[in-house]
Amino acid sequence: MTKKWAISGVDLHLDLKGTRVRAALESALREAVSGGRLRPGTRLPSSRALAADLGIARNTVADAYGQLVAEGWLTAVRGSGTRVARRPAPADSTPAPEAVILAQTRYDLCPGAPDLSAFPRSAWLAAARRALSVASCDTLGYSDPRGLPELRRALADYLGRARGVRAGPEHIVICCGFTQGFWLLCRVLRASGATTLAVEQFIQQGTCQAAKENGLTLTTLRVDERGARVSELGAADAVLLTPAHQFPLGVPLAARRRAQVVEWALDTGGLIIEDDYDGEFRYDRHPLGSLQGLSPEQIVYAGTASKALAPGLRLGWLVLPGRLIDEVCAAKTLADRNTGAIDQLTLAEFIVSGAYDRHIRRSRLIYRRRRDRLVTALKRDTLGVRISGIAAGLHALVELPPGHDEQHIIARAADHGLALLGLGTYAKDPHNHPPALVVGYAKPPEHAYTSAVARLSAVLAEAARSS
């Protein structure tokens, strides 16, 4: 039955079905208070009176009052009875704005992510099952801030053979993507007295912001067709490089400059941070080994599963010079103690079982084909574009004919439901770069790729005609 009763002129509807009378009473009172229907200071009837009113036991009412007093909704003052406690206005219930979504986008050629529809869900779940079936209980507790030994061992072996990284498992710290790894490094650098970090002329803006937030001043290295001009390093305390495949220009760091930057580190004691974000994806040339292998005590190697698998995994790793391990671990401990254990165990099993290599081989084949289709589609003389940075990675640089406005092209593409990003997005000096698009050809699901490239091609053709 549903009972209806009133306190101080406020009608309360109480569903007294079943035996949960007290819970119902508490909940009705809570609602009346939080909704503002019972105002602060309002005196409630005595438990005896209310119990008689409702036809329930007095103790039930007294217990409910007691509970709400304990929770702070009511106050009970000897001699003055039970009253509604002073409370602020109800919480603002306006939803905070959801993250910006490109609502009308049907095709997406922005760089930075692989084809998420190709994430190997079944193989990942199978690896998780195998890993969890043998993992010791300790792995689910607070653990070594460097990460679980299972994953560090698997990575040491994988990185050694696939990327020429020289490190034992004890030099590896697992972190929540490159983002966290870089963040921790910035903190450690700043704490050790470093003040300046050199970065490449084109770079993710979030990366710059993380460095600045941690008190580092940025200096800029220009990038040309042989990669970052490391001769401009000067007195920087550290440098962040993308030697295998400059992001977003796509050039590798030339051999002489690789040697040169190592010399710089040896001479000045400076630290090199090697962001090897897509080192697994090479198409036309023998893979370049990591820079780290040349001089492990001068170089931090930073890798990630974001491009090879998915950014949502939030799994990255730092391979550290011995002198930095303890400090990075201390920073990690304060920041979040550990990275999620189940994902770590799963990735370890995924690597050791060979599933990771298989996935990369398969992806490499697919992305290489996509790249070739992109190049074919855009090579027509009438478009007047120049494509570069395509020997590796998941994106291409498409330079527009001189005088073209990349923002205009991007806006026109948006009108056609195609999301694009321009080189300006990554330029430290937004007024000083050739007009170009950074085309992420890995991102669309396979079924949408042909249409996405066709639209890009159409937008470029339209721009060429109207110029």
Q: Which of 16, 116, 355, 454 touches its own copies by CB under 8 A?
A: 116
How many residues bind its own copies (CB under 8 A)? The answer is: 103
d(CA 147, CA 172): 8
Residue 257, classified by CB atoms within 10 Å of its CB into exposed (0-12), middle (13-18) or buried (19+), is buried
Helix pair angle (446-466, 406-415), 10° resolution: 130
Residue 284 in the binding site for its own copies (CB under 8 A): no
* Residue whose CB is less far from its own copies, 253 or 410: 253
Residue 69 in the binding site for its own copies (CB under 8 A): yes
d(CA 200, CA 426): 10
Q: Which of 9, 18, 95, 403 touches its own copies by CB under 8 A?
A: 95
Q: Which of 315, 351, 383, 400 touches its own copies by CB under 8 A?
A: 315
Stretch that binds its own copies, among 192-200, 208-216, 404-412, 449-457 (CB under 8 A): 208-216
Region at 138 (left for phi over 0; alpha for psi -120 to 50; beta for the rest): alpha
Residue 314 in the binding site for its own copies (CB under 8 A): yes
**Shortest Å, Cβ 270 to its own copies:** 13
**Shortest Å, Cβ 440 to its own copies:** 12
Stretch that binds its own copies, among 233-241, 318-326, 404-412, 431-439 (CB under 8 A): 318-326
Q: Give me the sign of the Cα torsion angle 408, 411, 417, 418.
A: positive
Strand residue runs (E) in 28-125: 74-77, 81-84, 107-108
Residue 75 in the binding site for its own copies (CB under 8 A): yes
Residue 286 in the binding site for its own copies (CB under 8 A): yes
Residue 55 in the binding site for its own copies (CB under 8 A): no
Stretch that binds its own copies, among 226-234, 326-334, 381-389, 423-431 (CB under 8 A): 326-334
Mask of contacts with its own copies, 443-462, x by CB under 8 A?
--x-----------------
Inter-residue contact 81 to 41 (CB < 8 Å) = no
Inter-residue contact 147 to 344 (CB < 8 Å) = yes
d(CA 175, CA 336): 10
Strands 395-399 and 418-419: unpaired
Q: Restricting to residues 166-205, name those near its own copies by CB under 8 A.
A: 166-168, 170-171, 175-177, 179-180, 183
**Shortest Å, Cβ 387 to its own copies:** 22
**Shortest Å, Cβ 164 to its own copies:** 7
* Residue whose CB is less far from its own copies, 87 or 106: 87
**Shortest Å, Cβ 255 to its own copies:** 5
Residue 291 in the binding site for its own copies (CB under 8 A): yes
**Shortest Å, Cβ 326 to its own copies:** 7
* Residue whose CB is less far from its own copies, 360 or 375: 360
The helix (run of H) or strand (run of E) holding residue 396 is strand 395-399
Nearest of 228, 194, 231, 234 to residue 211 by alpha carbon: 194
What does residue 215 show for φ and ψ, rounded to 5 degrees? 85, 10
Q: Which of 310, 413, 456, 463 touches its own copies by CB under 8 A?
A: 310
Inter-residue contact 219 to 197 (CB < 8 Å) = yes
Q: Which of 16, 113, 123, 391 touches its own copies by CB under 8 A?
A: 113
Stretch that binds its own copies, among 43-51, 143-151, 228-236, 428-436 (CB under 8 A): 143-151
Q: Which of 240, 341, 400, 419 touches its own copies by CB under 8 A?
A: 341
Residue 164 in the binding site for its own copies (CB under 8 A): yes
The helix (run of H) or strand (run of E) holding residue 3 is strand 2-7
What does residue 406 show for φ and ψ, rounded to 5 degrees? -65, -35
Q: Name the DSSP letter for residue 309.
A: T
d(CA 425, CA 204): 8
d(CA 389, CA 378): 14
Residue 266 in the binding site for its own copies (CB under 8 A): yes
Tokens (6 digits) for 213: 């937030």
Nearest of 366, 368, 435, 387 to residue 407 by alpha carbon: 435
**Shortest Å, Cβ 434 to its own copies:** 26
Residue 129 in the binding site for its own copies (CB under 8 A): yes
Residue 218 in the binding site for its own copies (CB under 8 A): no
Q: Which of 133, 193, 382, 403 touches its own copies by CB under 8 A?
A: 133
Residue 293 in the binding site for its own copies (CB under 8 A): yes
d(CA 371, CA 396): 8
